[in-house]
Structure 1
């Protein structure tokens, strides 16, 4: 074997180091992604190209008949003697089957015969609760997976062909008969965004079904939504296993802060940039409250060019409480985020200000920490027009002296879904 052949072989087997060195903690990769995105196809491709890695596979399916597990069993070429396939059906590992997931992973790890654990989450599963399962001790069950496992990579598979259809559908999981139960009122678009905003690797699948220009635009949007993840194109789920196995990418704190809207809010200064395909973002920030009636009217005619928006809103009628605001496609949600520091009793307020110098520096002499501050991410946004429209929703100089509690307030009294915006 030549020296070049040796180097090539070393590169090919880099991701198998966990197997050769027998790490104390078994690495785990979790595949998330909406129904039909191609998670099972990706999983089977990895299993067929894993170069001797002994793998335990957990496949989660909401239905009683675990179809995905059958596809993996038939197409993944798992060794009947060295490997195992665990089916988890009739629920989601992020909620109803979380306890089962804890017990199964602990059992597999204690067997001490696997090099890796691969998990395919159900298409309507949320990645954050699954990651928490591997990151914290479960006091009630007395199970600490951090002793046995290392969550290595959170992967989200995105359907390039159907993404915009699902994003703009305005449908709930109940509408599509995909909900976990009658109380599961999640919107499809909110689930898509949750899966994209919490991951280490984004696999944009079915790229052969989309024109190149549309792919570039979608990639730009995905990078704006999740700038911290590696973004890779795939066709028929074909991916180099080393892209999602033994990457060492996952860090819970970093993943929790990796969403585009969070990074935008944390920038000390934002310099507007002209980006390819007009994909951009900016922070709307005003130290003046919104008139609830005018703001609701503006939101009902939501600008289609704004893909994602999230942050904090100050409503004049609710002067003591900050409102958490989140928009994705036609889904808009708003609800109490917590009490403004300025509304707290004086002794408590002074104690907080003493311990937080950054808050002291931004403190307004009249309004304290009250502020409207949220990020808008979109395609072809006219920032001046958007800011003018939002500014018109703020209290006018003439309205400031009024009793703000008397203004019209059509927003719900608790956190919840608002009347749908116009579908883009």
Structure 2
């Protein structure tokens, strides 16, 4: 089939200068290519400024006054309408959407997947070709290790935006179909190789591109690796939903290279809530990045997301395990979720299970594995039966409320017949 929708390449990066450099390099290769960029300096006051340009001219300079100053309002009230409008006005031109540092690409993808403008679905007007993370070599490791918040840097997108710098940077990298490292001539060779090793372990599913080591940039070669690649698959879930749907969340590479290594931890038995809580500081201090899913014995109905970076930890509610739901509700889950559950179904635990990925500098894989293993229920605790687990001390009580009472272990029935 001949798909005539304009393609959109989304550039996300915490370094505005590096993102702009990549965007302008792409414009030089195609006079019809259109760049859309936003200035969020006034977003907390409800003002967003927009520039639309080609390599040769500025097509628009506009301002949008938001009902509420926040990222979601920016996407809904300006970004999506701009993409649809440009697709109509310039149907033969592809688009590059350069995101400001505070916007995470997964939020853009989610808004575009369900968004509409004047009754027209955004995805009927444009097709999202790929999401590209632009990383500035000189500062990204410091940002990934930083304990700063966006507010500390003056980049928070709303009064209640408490996101950490490390969280935003790593989410931009992990969601990418392509990761571009923007370097500079004379960069230290070891640091360059160490960064490449780190990025490959943070986003092993992405294509990786390195530019900027010489004074001249091969713009045509760069465009060939970033534009019209068709790498983005809208069916692949975001980072926190990947394990539930059977997608990889990392690699196990205990030895690593250039001082960077990674590990995977898997278990079908649940965590003891108190022992897990007591180990959190050690686990988050050891790894640069942790991600995945887990379950704890006192809350057998809830799949819990783990996301750690910059020394901080976010635990979130991923919804019900299928084993905790009546069979007639399993159709609420995606096809991939049910297929993944079926492939790994356990007669006792159902689809419940822990899958955690950790990436760091010189991780002690044996020590990390032992620490996590000690947090699991022991053989004796398992033998006491699921009915006894609810009496265990639980510092996470009421952290992950479910929307109904279907939180008791269900019989082990396969998720897909």
TM bucket (normalised to shorter chain) is: 0.7 to 0.9
Note if 1:39 corresponds to 2:14: no
Equivalent positions of 1:326-345 (< 5 A) are 326-345=307-326
Equivalent positions of 1:127-146 (< 5 A) are 127-136=105-114, 138=116, 141-146=118-123
Note if 1:292 corresponds to 2:273: yes
The structural deviation recorded for 1:192 is: 0.8
Q: Aligned partners of 2:236, 2:345: CA distance in 1, in Å?
A: 30
Greater CA drift, 262-271 or 286-295: 262-271
Greater CA drift, 60-69 or 193-202: 60-69
The unaligned stretches of length 5 or more in structure 2 are 402-417
Q: Match for residue 15 of structure 1? A: none
Secondary structure of the 1:253 match is: coil
The structural deviation recorded for 1:302 is: 2.7
Q: Aligned partners of 1:357, 1:149: CA distance in 2, in Å?
A: 30
Q: Match for residue 377 of structure 1? A: 359
Secondary structure of the 2:283 match is: coil
Q: Match for residue 414 of structure 1? A: 399
Q: Aligned partners of 2:216, 2:394: CA distance in 1, in Å?
A: 49
Q: Match for residue 228 of structure 1? A: 205
Q: Aligned partners of 2:326, 2:48: CA distance in 1, in Å?
A: 57
Change (3 A) 1:122 1:56: same
Equivalent positions of 1:4-403 (< 5 A) are 24-36=4-16, 38-47=18-27, 49-50=28-29, 53-64=31-42, 78-79=56-57, 84-87=59-62, 95-112=73-90, 115-136=93-114, 138=116, 141-208=118-185, 210-235=187-212, 238=217, 240-241=219-220, 242-243=223-224, 246-253=227-234, 256=237, 266=247, 274-302=255-283, 304-345=285-326, 359=341, 362-400=344-382, 401=384, 403=388
Q: Aligned partners of 1:369, 1:263: CA distance in 2, in Å?
A: 9
Q: Aligned partners of 1:262, 1:50: CA distance in 2, in Å?
A: 39
Change (3 A) 1:89 1:164: farther
Change (3 A) 1:157 1:206: same
The structural deviation recorded for 1:27 is: 2.5
Secondary structure of the 2:298 match is: helix
CA contact (8 A) 2:289 2:308 kept: yes
Question: Deviations 1:207-245 (Å, cap 9, x if unpaired)?
Answer: 447421111111111111112322222338945242365
The unaligned stretches of length 5 or more in structure 1 are 1-21, 417-424
The structural deviation recorded for 1:195 is: 0.7
Question: Deviations 1:159-193 (Å, cap 9, x if unpaired)?
Answer: 21111221122222123321111221211111111
Change (3 A) 1:327 1:88: farther
Question: Deviations 1:366-422 (Å, cap 9, x if unpaired)?
Answer: 433332222223333332221111111122344443833333322363369xxxxxx
The structural deviation recorded for 1:288 is: 2.3
Q: Aligned partners of 1:292, 1:226: CA distance in 2, in Å?
A: 30
Question: Deviations 1:108-130 (Å, cap 9, x if unpaired)?
Answer: 22223763322221111111232
CA contact (8 A) 1:157 1:202 kept: yes
Q: Aligned partners of 2:351, 2:274: CA distance in 1, in Å?
A: 23
CA contact (8 A) 1:134 1:145 kept: yes
CA contact (8 A) 1:205 1:237 kept: no
The structural deviation recorded for 1:337 is: 2.0
Secondary structure of the 2:263 match is: strand
Change (3 A) 1:176 1:410: farther
Change (3 A) 1:307 1:87: farther
Change (3 A) 1:180 1:272: closer
Secondary structure of the 2:38 match is: strand
Greater CA drift, 252-261 or 226-235: 252-261
Greater CA drift, 193-202 or 243-252: 243-252
- Name the Cα RMSD after superposition: 4.0
